[in-house]
Every structure is written in C-alpha cells, then in structure tokens.
Amino acid sequence: MSQLQSLRGMVDLRPEQTRRWQAVEAVAREHFRRAGIEEIRTPLLEVTELFARGIGEGTDVVGKEMYSFLDRGERACTLRPEGTASVVRAAVQHGLLSQGAQKLWYGGPMFRYERPQAGRQRQFHQIGVECLGVSSARSDVEVIALAWDLLAALGVQGLELEINSLGTPNDRQRYRAQLVAWLEERVDQLDSDSQERLTTNPLRILDSKNPTTQALLADAPTLLEALSEESAARFAEVQALLRQLAIPFQVNTRLVRGLDYYGHTAFEITSDQLGAQATVCGGGRYDGLVEQLGGSPTPAIGWALGMERLLLVLEAAAKADPDGVAARLTAQLPPTVYLVNRGEAAEAAALGLARSLRQAGVAVELDGSGAAFGKQFKRADRCGAPWALVIGDQEAEQGCVRLKSLRAEADEQTLALDAIPALLEALG
C-alpha cells in the first residue's frame, strides 16, 4: 500500500516548528492585551459572496486563487483566503458595531490556490488586527505602531515601513482614468498579466513584479498627484505622527495593496533579514467595506502578518545573532527535571513523582524507555535539563529519590519520595 502524503501546499508543522509558532503567538497576544485588542474567531468556511463582494471580483484572489465549491445544500462556499472580510461579517452579523468601536485580532489558517514557495503555501496562516469604528489619522498611526513594535519585540531586524495614500473612492476614480489613459498609449509595452488587468483592475498593475512593467511605470502618473486637498492633508498628518513616534518610513507611490477594499492609508513593513526586502506585514484603511457587506457606514483599518514568512525571518535573525531576541524566542526550553527510572517498582514510583512535580509547576520529562541508566543519563544530558531525579527499585523500596545536578558541580542529594516541598526547594 502506498504511503499517503499531504496535499501540495498544505504543510505539517512538526513539534519544533509548532513551538516557535507558539512563542510568536504568545508575544503577539501580550502586545494585543496591552493595547486593549480582543480576540475574535471566525469560521474557515464562508459563503463565496462574502469574498466576491468584499475583496472584489476583479482581484486575482477571487478570480484565480480561491478554494470554492458547492456544498450538499447547493450553497456556494469558500475556504477563507484572508481574514478581514470574515471579521467584518461577524461584527455586522452580531451587532458588535452598535456597542462602539471594536478593536479585534484574529489568527489562523487561510487558503489560496497559488504556486507554493518558501514562506508561501496554499494553506497559510495569518495574525491580523482590525479596528472598526475609528477614523482619525491618529488611529492609522496607532495601528501601524502596534505592528512595528510587535515585529521589533520579536527580534526582526532591518525593518522598513512603506506608506501610501489611496485617497477616497473619488480620488481613485479620477486617478484610474488618468492611469488607464496613460497605459493605453503604451499597452504594447505591458506584460500579459498587466494587459489583462488594464480592463479589470488597472491599479493592480502598479503592483506588477514584471521588471519591464515596473521600469515603464517609473514615468506613470501617481495616485498622490490625484489626491484631493482633504486627502492630501490627511496623509500629511499620518506622516507627521509617524515622525513624532520616531518610526522611520518611506512614501511609495506604487503601493496599492492587493484587495479592492483599501482607501486612504496603505502600508507594508518589510525586513532585509532574508537577504532581500521581504514583506512581513501589510494593511491599510478600508472605510467602505462594512457598508459593502451590509452594515452601516463605518470607518476601519487593519493589518495582517504572514506567519510562514515571519518564521523564516525569525530563523534568519536567530542565526545572525545567536544571543539575540529571535534566538531566545525560538530556542527550545529544556525541562527542569529529567526523571531517570528503571524497574517495575521504580517506574510506578516515578510516574507518581512526575505527576506531583508537574502539579507543582515543574517541567518534568519522564523517561519511559526502561533502558539502562547509562542510556537514560545520555538522554537527560542531551535534552538540556539542569537536574536529574533517579529512581531504581532500591530507591523505590526505600521511598527515596536521588537528585543529581547535570550542569553544575554539586553534591548528589537523597530525598524522600513524598517530600515534594523539600524537592522543590532543592530544585531552586
């Protein structure tokens, strides 16, 4: 019988990888707690219309990448390709916006049918923040600062922030007409994907990765030039507040983000930790999305970071600085105690002792191999535990346990098996 394999682009997280993810998630949870941001959890499966209406039918995500199907009730369903639309749908459905501004975060798997590569899979994971009911330039900067400070706290080096303003729908409509007219005169110089987008989603051409198209766009009109006086003033305030917080940034007039619902502030945070600039976090303002999904007009802003890309960045940071924050964060914490035991009576006694110590808050690894003491001590040394507790049948019969230091010069101690307070004191 052939061995079964995971689907292409669907990756298992092995224990050592899961440990790193949990460390990142713990840091993120603490940052969100301090900012008064509460967690929301939404289904993996939504009606297809949510993303067609929210993200935009002309986007690559909806047009080419979604996992969509009819369920047994003939309903069009989609595995969520991103988190924002689901959070907004939940907020509208459950009346959260009637309770005032909502500061929410989410985490979990998303799905897009695209070519798998390093840091990008068909099932990928995001952590995201959505602030609903906030409209000021200050709220934009607060959200950006939260992402910046989280990445810095994780030990990510070489951070760069790029920002742009996408203006109002009227600004974008005016700019779209200018851009399309300019590109139509040069349509033969565009790559095939950009030629297709010229009639469906021309702003996405600005995000083209084709070198020839990017070179051509160097002379194209910019969105900033099409901003109304009010939109330009708002963007100037965002920049001033970033300078006030000493968060360095660059204005990138080609930054449009990939989804239709963005307006006004858009941003990406990149890191050079992998050798070239790689985006680790992106987001922006989406004031029209709540109304688009059936709610009342509500301003909103948010961001998401990709866990797969972030973990690659953290691993590179840990290698570059073995004593740095990222290295400490991704390091495996050894148990406090390795419990060496052999013999029928000893194994029963060791099981009870391990349970008592764990209940007291001590991390204990219980050797269940029944191997010779020498082999168990080698495992104890490899796991990095500072202490070994040793029980053989003789110790079990006498109701005692031997405490041996594995990392420092110290005399071996013999303690009563049931003397948990004394054991805890000896372990420090």
Query: 94-108, 188-202, 329-343 — which is least confidently predicted?
Result: 188-202
Domain 15-167+227-328 has CATH 3.30.930.10: yes
How large is the average pLDDT for residues 238-253? 97
- Check whether 184 has a pLDDT greater than 90: no
Query: 5-14, 192-201, 269-278 — which is least confidently predicted?
Result: 192-201
Query: 19-33, 54-68, 112-126 — which is least confidently predicted?
Result: 54-68
Q: CA 26 to CA 16: how far, in whole Å?
A: 16
- Check whether 259 has a pLDDT greater than 70: no
How large is the average pLDDT for residues 366-373? 96
Q: Average model confidence (pLDDT) for the chain?
A: 92
Residue 340's nearest CA partner among 386, 392, 276 is 392
Q: Name the pLDDT band for 311 (thresholds 50, 70, 90).
A: very high
| 210 or 57: which leads in pLDDT | 210
Contact call for residues 278 and 313 (beta carbons, < 8 A): yes
How large is the average pLDDT for residues 83-101? 96
Structure tokens at 40: 């929301």
How large is the average pLDDT for residues 12-34? 94
- Check whether 60 has a pLDDT greater than 80: no
Contact call for residues 122 and 111 (beta carbons, < 8 A): yes
Contact call for residues 129 and 28 (beta carbons, < 8 A): no
Whole-prediction pTM? 0.88
Q: What pLDDT was estimated at residue 258?
A: 58
How large is the average pLDDT for residues 139-152? 98
Query: 44-53, 92-101, 105-114, 198-207 — which is least confidently predicted?
Result: 198-207
Q: CA 216 to CA 212: how far, in whole Å?
A: 6
Backbone angles phi, psi at 417, to 5 degrees: -60, -35
Write down the domain spans for the chain: 15-167+227-328, 337-427
Q: Which residues contact 145 (CB under 8 A, 6 or more apart)?
A: 245, 247
How large is the average pLDDT for residues 128-141? 97
* Percent with pLDDT over 70 in the chain: 98
CATH number of 337-427: 3.40.50.800
- Check whether 32 has a pLDDT greater than 90: yes
Contact call for residues 90 and 96 (beta carbons, < 8 A): yes
Contact call for residues 266 and 255 (beta carbons, < 8 A): yes
Angle between helices 137-153 and 15-34 (to 10 degrees): 140
Q: What pLDDT was estimated at residue 58?
A: 63
Q: What pLDDT was estimated at residue 1?
A: 85
How does pLDDT run across 196-217, given as a tens digit for each residue?
888 877 887 887 888 888 888 8
How does pLDDT run across 313-331, given as a tens digit for each residue?
999 999 989 999 999 988 8
Q: What pLDDT was estimated at residue 187?
A: 85
- Check whether 350 has a pLDDT greater than 90: yes
Q: Sign of the C-alpha dihedral, residues 33, 35, 39, 44? A: negative
